[in-house]
Amino acid sequence: MKFITWITIMFVLLVFAGFIYFSGASLNQSGSASVDSSGTQKVVLSMQNGNYWPRTITVKAGQKVSLELDNSIQGCYRSFNIRDLGVSGYSASPSQTIDFVPQQKGSFRFACGMGMGYGTIIVD
Ligand SMILES: [Cu+2]
């Protein structure tokens, strides 16, 4: 085989390995809230592979959380519940955020209205 063929094969393998590495990394990434000037923790959820993404969000206790469900989220997934924190809301559009102040530290399950979409919120 010609040298140039080997170079091409190596290059393709490298790009492929890089793709696997980075797609894996982004799937494992968990969402942290960004905090605005008023101290509100902003979290944006979207939809990926039939569930919320990111699947794990981390917030601080005692500080307001403003949760946005972006345009990729449809139907029943727009109702958002964290039962153990007493949060139950419906967002008709992304601008209608679900706001709450998590007081209790711990790891809690969040879910849509019927429980098909779910994830974990870590309050610390
Ligand atoms: Cu649902």
Token couple for 73: 């989220």
CATH no. of 33-123: 2.60.40.420
CA of 116 to the centre of ligand 1 (A): 5
Confidence band of 60 (pLDDT split at 50, 70, 90): very high
Read off the pTM: 0.74
CA of 45 to the centre of ligand 1 (A): 14
pLDDT tens sequence across 36-55: 889 999 999 999 999 999 99
With CA atoms as reference, report the closest residue to 36 among 121, 97, 91.
97
pLDDT at 58: 97
Average pLDDT estimate for 106-112 = 98
CA of 35 to the centre of ligand 1 (A): 28
CA of 93 to the centre of ligand 1 (A): 16
CA of 55 to the centre of ligand 1 (A): 15
Q: How far apart are CA 88 and CA 118, in angstroms?
A: 13
